[in-house]
Amino acid sequence: MGIIDLLRNPWFVRIILIFWLLSTVLVAYLLGVIDFIVNHYTYTYGQLHFDPRWAFPYWNALRLVYIFLAIPAVFGGLILIAGFVKTDDKHRTVKRVREKASPQLQTEREHSVLIKCTHCGKVFSKPETMLDFSNGKPQLANVCPYCEHVLGRPEEESPGESIKGELMEEEVEAE
């Protein structure tokens, strides 16, 4: 697994977000400890005397640091929570496709033909096209997308069939 794959892994991203949020909490705690040292011990030992010239800039800087720690922590927490919430993406995608379907696509869907593979019995609308080397000379051949059985080999063909597979009419759902 490469670095790019690791960075795209959703669990890796969640672990990084958790570490980031924990370090944010630790930094906020340590800033509180520093503030306690400044406001408690230095006054207790008489080394610090209150003066608005240093107190107001100190308080403003401390508040800004807390704000700039809180904003990314809140957004990171929301992203982390959203990563654990399960969504039904499959349903949303199908709904979007159906909403954007053009009238031309609807008529093509109504006139499509389904093919049933005689080898595996599965039904599909479009066979895969692959190169067939069985006759020595490469030829394009239609194959079943499920079992890769070659459709329409001349030696397997019945007199009435042009391709090996049963054609079925598609039943169109009323939407």
- What pLDDT score was predicted for residue 10? 83
Of 53-67, 128-142, 152-166, the poorest mean pLDDT is in: 152-166
pLDDT, average across residues 43-51 = 80
* pLDDT over 90 at 154, yes or no: no
pLDDT, average across residues 122-149 = 85
SS3 for 70-136 is HHHHHHHHHHHHHHHCCCCHHHHHHHHHHHCCCHHHHHHHHCCEEEECCCCCCEECCCEEEEECCCC
pLDDT in tens, 95-118: 444 455 556 555 555 666 788 888
The percentage of the chain sitting over the pLDDT mark of 90, rounded to a whole number, equals 20
Domain boundaries, the chain: 3-84, 109-169
- What pLDDT score was predicted for residue 71? 93
